[in-house]
Structure 1
């Protein structure tokens, strides 16, 4: 979801045919892919010299490419990249936060440089600043030469609507930060509409910020609402709990049933990808507790039953969809009562690894932002096969 697939395809095709563009620095806050397309288009030697992102777990080609040193890999917390776009747009020097202290993103450890080419050549994106005798992480701003986002509809003045998108993500922040960096702003449109067809309250990105609009030639392939569906009203429409989808019994559902026993009515909860994303929402719906617990996902959705697998990040029948960075403002400020996370490796001291597994660079996604600020952190994983 949220992928400007027609533009990404065009960039890769141009490079393979002409050798241009090349040596790009690709920055992305989330990790949208269906294991075949999306950001996988940039896993080509020479096309990108550096990838600055949060998560490549749904990109097997990119993950292996970075693990083999095909490009410099810099992993920063998802929420810090999302909110950094706004700092760039506002002309601030960067983000000052405690998120990331003591993790591999801490510059006293690795500074987020997760492969050797990055350690040898990438600039420092993070520093330590002391404020009132406390250590803070300082995520530095950078210039954005080209900002790419997508919209459901664009009118003749360039005004953009995301009304049919299952998530809002970073459309406005990317457009503002690229524009204020004197860069180029490109929007992929699912459809073009007449001037005035988009009500002012439904404009997500004003036309004055947009330099170029590209209509997706094959929207059913290049502008899908999610990998699973071209468009499904359920992902942008509220509903009563009686209509929420149910899941068949599985080991994952059993884990979800056990996990929700830690919750209390009125709790606001985040769920991570993997077992939590596949099981916690269905377990709450099955128990009739969907109205008693507010489920959220870092993409910006509230309520409903979250989709799993490569469609993680959207929910069936959400109660609200807010911008990506706004969700992380809430998370980083301590708004979560609980989070349910998956884990790749856990040692006897409770240290958890989700970012590098088996020679692959996976990335942390929103894991660091969320686990360092939630009041309860519960890991959901299976010991099968061990």
Structure 2
């Protein structure tokens, strides 16, 4: 039977050294009121201590809300997640060795919730082989303390002559989830939620672990006053319900009001979208658009790739394409920043775990992903820089299971200034940091795995385009106005092979 309680009563149910998890995808499905109550309770009482903390993905606004509230000395002893790129305090907590820390792919983590819910022993997957998740490299251990003190979270196994990664199931003793409404019996509805994240999977995993499920909602509605198909988490999985004030139950961390266009309830004309300014981001996005095929199902990663949807809409091509996000959104125009995961005019909203299953099954025609570092072999790092961890999120799930890939980013970073005029690109001030390195700090994308599985991989920057081959990178195009030796080759720590002929990027990209 579900009980309705206060937030203070809810967090007092969490004991020291418990395994604790919560739902969320950036701001969507994020039980921020309960997380605030947990931090306040810890600051006031010093309890609970030493939590093993599990969360699927980045859940904050980079300003201290959401998961970043839990970066308090002694509160967390171990963290297991796929991403901390939106939580600077939590990322610093890991970097300063204040806890053990494991990063695993988003899809694998969601499969672990399902495995625990079904009392299965664990998860077998090929996703993550030859990346830093592989125990032959780092085993997902992302700081020195974990490498020296931590247990193995993943093992390499062989089944019928093929290599797999095996993860034992993870019991969950307490979890927070979020819905829009609870009825008087404790059934959870998500009518206003822009996403259906991992609420059901977490609740089912905690319930199977004989743990506690606490749901945050914005309101209580009369029992049986709605279509039963609207229930996402049934009452038998919900132990307690907490009603949150509006300030801590936002549908968007950037904009607090309910945005029905993010649920498909209303339609926003694409003509209302502002065109991208003509800069490096637009050049890369427009070059990627040239690779898109009609009726393709496409994933867009975080950062620069998110501009591809806007560039396609600006060219009148968006209606012939289907963009998707690992959050579960199909169709529409994916949003950026703290609205990441949601979309304007979505055609359908699936559960995040269901979408990752589809990705793992190879349903995507193309993925456009970010580029932070790339080495002479074609390995790519998007998860760890100068020792600071962000994690892969859904990057590995997507990158290893999609036949055609485009990685995009600026050629250098750190103070890069460029001008575009008269159809040409000019370097005003070169970036301080080279992205094309002899060796990347961490392998988030394995070039060897891509070659072995026959993936088609293109690397797009504002001044040069490369293709991945079995022999490494081949430079195929350079931008008009760019000097090959000074602006491209001199800004790389290795010398790639040059295509014959070496082409000039379409001048239309620069006008």
TM-score scaled to structure 2, two decimals? 0.73
Matches within 5 A, 1:221-370: 221-230=247-256, 231-237=258-264, 242-243=269-270, 245-250=272-277, 251=279, 252-277=281-306, 279-370=307-398
Which residue in the other structure is 1:185 paired with? 213
Supply the distance in 1 between the matched residues of 2:174 and 2:221 (Cα, whole angstroms): 24
**What count of residue pairs does the alignment treat as equivalent?**
383
Range moving further from structure 2, 239-248 or 65-74? 239-248
Which residue in the other structure is 1:133 paired with? 161
Which residue in the other structure is 2:33 paired with? 6
2:179 is paired with a residue whose SS is: strand
Which residue in the other structure is 1:23 paired with? 50
Q: Is 2:78 the counterpart of 1:50?
A: yes
Q: How far does residue 45 in structure 1 lie from its aligned partner after superposition?
A: 1.4
Which has the higher Rg, Structure 1 or Structure 2? 2
Q: How far does residue 247 in structure 1 lie from its aligned partner after superposition?
A: 2.9
Matches within 5 A, 1:165-204: 165-204=193-232
Which residue in the other structure is 2:135 paired with? 107
Q: Does the CA-based 8 Å contact 2:267-2:344 persist in structure 1?
A: no
Supply the distance in 2 between the matched residues of 1:29 and 1:379 (Cα, whole angstroms): 23
Which residue in the other structure is 1:381 paired with? 409
- Deviations along 1:1-46, whole A, 9 cap, x unmatched? 2210011001111111111011001111111210021110111110
By percentage of residues, which structure has more strand? 2
Q: Does the CA-based 8 Å contact 2:370-2:408 persist in structure 1?
A: yes
Q: How far does residue 300 in structure 1 lie from its aligned partner after superposition?
A: 0.3
Matches within 5 A, 1:204-219: 204-216=232-244, 218-219=245-246
Supply the distance in 2 between the matched residues of 1:191 and 1:171 (Cα, whole angstroms): 17
> Residue 85 of structure 1: which of 113, 122, 133 is its match?
113
Q: 1:245 to 1:26 in 2, by over 3 A?
A: farther
- Structure 2, unpaired ranges of 5+: 1-26, 417-430, 432-511
1:280 is paired with a residue whose SS is: helix
Q: Does the CA-based 8 Å contact 1:244-1:305 persist in structure 2?
A: no
Q: How far does residue 254 in structure 1 lie from its aligned partner after superposition?
A: 2.7
- Deviations along 1:129-186, whole A, 9 cap, x unmatched? 2111110111220111012110000010000011110010111111111001000001
Matches within 5 A, 1:36-47: 36=63, 37-47=65-75
TM-score scaled to structure 1, two decimals? 0.96
Q: How far does residue 244 in structure 1 lie from its aligned partner after superposition?
A: 5.7
Q: Does the CA-based 8 Å contact 1:161-1:204 persist in structure 2?
A: yes
- Deviations along 1:323-380, whole A, 9 cap, x unmatched? 0110000001111111111122112221111111133111111111110001111111
Supply the distance in 2 between the matched residues of 1:79 and 1:190 (Cα, whole angstroms): 29
Supply the distance in 1 between the matched residues of 2:133 and 2:374 (Cα, whole angstroms): 19
1:336 is paired with a residue whose SS is: coil
Range moving further from structure 2, 67-76 or 247-256? 247-256
Range moving further from structure 2, 238-247 or 73-82? 238-247
- Indicate the structure whose relative CO is greater, using CA pairs within 8 Å and at least 6 residues apart: 1
Q: 1:244 to 1:31 in 2, by over 3 A?
A: farther
Q: Does the CA-based 8 Å contact 1:8-1:38 persist in structure 2?
A: yes
Two-structure CA RMSD over aligned residues (Å): 1.4
Supply the distance in 2 between the matched residues of 1:358 and 1:253 (Cα, whole angstroms): 28
Q: Does the CA-based 8 Å contact 1:241-1:290 persist in structure 2?
A: no
Supply the distance in 2 between the matched residues of 1:262 and 1:148 (Cα, whole angstroms): 42
Q: 1:283 to 1:325 in 2, by over 3 A?
A: same
Range moving further from structure 2, 315-324 or 340-349? 340-349
Which residue in the other structure is 2:148 paired with? 120
Q: How far does residue 249 in structure 1 lie from its aligned partner after superposition?
A: 2.7
Range moving further from structure 2, 234-243 or 202-211? 234-243
